[in-house]
Structure 1
Amino acid sequence: MALVDYAGSSTSASEDEDSTETIRTPAMSSLKRPALPTAAALLGPKKPKPEEFVEDVVDDPELHGGRIRSFKHERGNWATYVYVPSTACADQLEEFQSEAIARLEPHVELQPNESLHLSLSRTVVLQYHQIDEFSRSLQTALNSSTGFAATLRGLRIYTNEERTRTFIAAPLDAAFVEKMTAILQPIDRVMLEYRQQQFYDPASFHVSLLWCVGDQEKVLNEKLKDLQELLEDQDTLSLAVNEVHLKCGNKDFTYTLK
């Protein structure tokens, strides 16, 4: 079988190109087509990726006080929860946070919760394309819900499900649990519709105030009486339940109650 000498073929092609170049005339050069514009010139500079398509993030607990994510951060996943803001008593709660941190400093390192709110859902994961539809479903579900004025009373110690963090929280006054449950029920139905976990059963409505890393439930329960005394110095802790919020990543939706 004969072998094909590709090197020779390449050389010939190169020689033909050189020959063609040497016999071009000025007239032929003037007929040369102008270069086509580049894609960058036509379309402009490359746009940054939309936020929902950013690269995966490597979780580093050192960047957020030692907290560990309950679920892996992945591209397209949006951490989502439903809540009632506690703006009516925010100043009082922030004062308590400062006093409690100073009081317990020798025993445990507490961090203040920056977003003071009463949760009406677990933290779940939505895909970006689900967010607007989920928000509309929640709006429809809450159309007949009625707002009310409530209060927070006392303190209670909680841990998360993984027992990687411990919380000091102000529970909802028991007199308002039934009314809050009436708002929770349509939210739970929407969660079920989207195959998400519903709220804890039994529900324990509260505003988380402070947290620390690890399971420190025993230590904090031993200091609970001292903390109660600090809280009793505050006036009545009012909670205005007149709107519900949906937090999806950096998006926040508001639903006004009747």
Structure 2
Amino acid sequence: MSLVQYSDSESEADIPSPYPPAKKPRHNPPASGLPPLPATFHDLYASSSRVSVQDDPSLHGGRKRIIPHIEGNWPTHLYLEWHPSKTELTILERLIPWNYAKNPSVLKVHSLLHSDLGAQLPLHISLSRPVVLRTEQRTEFTDALQNVILESKIAPFNAIPDTLKWVSNYERTRWFLVLHVQRPQNDNLNKLLRLCNNTLSRFKQPPLYSPTHENQASPKNFDDKFHISLAWTLTEPSPDDNTYVDGIDLKSLEDLHVGFDAVKVKVGNNVMSIPLPSNT
């Protein structure tokens, strides 16, 4: 199991994609004839209210705060968001190995598909590690990122999941069960990561998947890193855990195409959505 620089890219000239043209990103159909919720609705409720500014792991399943709370510092994360449909959610639920009866290892696995109260949660592909902006940098940063994305001509696209595996965060304090995704048409994930990394560097923030640590031979290609997290655990998975996951049937993923049409910027508890440019 390789260490993945996880939040939870440098770019290169366009590379011909080995995959068929992406389907138009799909939006979940309305349920019971009701109109769909606007995309901004999810941004309004992206975070629960803050319970404590101290590092109290008992408040969130034993997780420890990676970025300490300091007045004037704003934890920031860039990502692509996915709200699975009911059918897609059923497929994903079957991939999480709750039952380890046939496995000698016992992991306490926490789902990222639902909250503790049972509400469905959005999933994401990270375009940054957790970073920190100062109060006076927030507007300048979001304006800069919005400008480069709008000028990028990176249109909405689909990503296709293909592999299930365990990966760790930077600090090796949590391990995530993730779906790796294939390179999308026009290499849009690497292109977006490059834009995000370049913008973060202007504000003295570290990149995600830095080529100084990994991918030395191909520093502009991080196809092996992009993934969607489904669950997490505080215990490092054993070789048996990895073997168990390797044996899970992934045929249900064959028709799963995940559409992305915007980059999300979360600064503190505020979420901004930057639409990808349209070809039309």
TM-score by length of 1: 0.70
User: Which runs of no fewer than 5 residues in structure 2 stay unpaired?
Assistant: 1-49, 113-120, 216-221
In the other structure, the counterpart of 2:53 is 57
In the other structure, the counterpart of 1:139 is 146
Residues 248 and 170 of structure 1: CA distance in aligned 2, closer, same or farther (over 3 Å): same
Cα deviation digits, residues 52-89 of structure 1 (max 9, x gap): xx9x8211111101111222122222211111112256
Contact preservation (8 Å) 2:197, 2:207: yes
Q: Which amino acid aligns with 2:107?
A: V
Residues 70 and 177 of structure 1: CA distance in aligned 2, closer, same or farther (over 3 Å): farther
Q: Which amino acid aligns with 2:268?
A: G
Instruction: Report the more deviating stretch, 242-251 or 106-115.
Output: 106-115
Superposition deviation, residue 140 in structure 1: 0.7
Structure with greater helix share of residues: 1
Shift >4 Å, 4+ stretches:
88-91
Instruction: Report the more deviating stretch, 91-100 or 171-180.
Output: 91-100
Residues 96 and 241 of structure 1: CA distance in aligned 2, closer, same or farther (over 3 Å): closer
Q: 1: distance between equivalents of 2:87 and 2:174? A: 24
Identity percentage of aligned residues: 28
Is 1:112 the counterpart of 2:111? The answer is yes
Q: 2: distance between equivalents of 1:75 and 1:218? A: 42
Per the alignment, in what secondary structure is the counterpart of residue 66 of structure 1? coil
In the other structure, the counterpart of 1:163 is 172
Superposition deviation, residue 177 in structure 1: 8.1
Instruction: Report the more deviating stretch, 243-252 or 98-107.
Output: 98-107
Larger radius of gyration: 1
In the other structure, the counterpart of 1:152 is 161
TM-score by length of 2: 0.65
May I ask how many residue pairs the two structures share in their alignment?
A: 203
123, 127, 139: which one pairs with 2:134? 127
Cα deviation digits, residues 235-256 of structure 1 (max 9, x gap): 5221212111101121111111
51, 75, 88: which one pairs with 2:71? 75
Where does 1:103-252 land on structure 2 (aligned, <5 Å)?
Answer: 103-104=99-100, 107-113=106-112, 114-143=121-150, 144-147=152-155, 148-176=157-185, 178-201=187-210, 202=215, 203=222, 204-216=225-237, 218-226=239-247, 228-229=248-249, 231-234=250-253, 236-252=255-271
Cα deviation digits, residues 163-221 of structure 1 (max 9, x gap): 11111101111355822111211111111100000111443111111100132253431
Compute the RMSD of aligned alpha carbons.
2.6
Residues 91 and 62 of structure 1: CA distance in aligned 2, closer, same or farther (over 3 Å): farther
Superposition deviation, residue 127 in structure 1: 1.7
Q: 2: distance between equivalents of 1:233 and 1:102? A: 18
Residues 134 and 240 of structure 1: CA distance in aligned 2, closer, same or farther (over 3 Å): same
Residues 217 and 175 of structure 1: CA distance in aligned 2, closer, same or farther (over 3 Å): farther
Q: 2: distance between equivalents of 1:177 and 1:67? A: 37
Contact preservation (8 Å) 1:163, 1:214: no
In the other structure, the counterpart of 2:276 is 257
Contact preservation (8 Å) 2:129, 2:207: yes
In the other structure, the counterpart of 2:47 is none
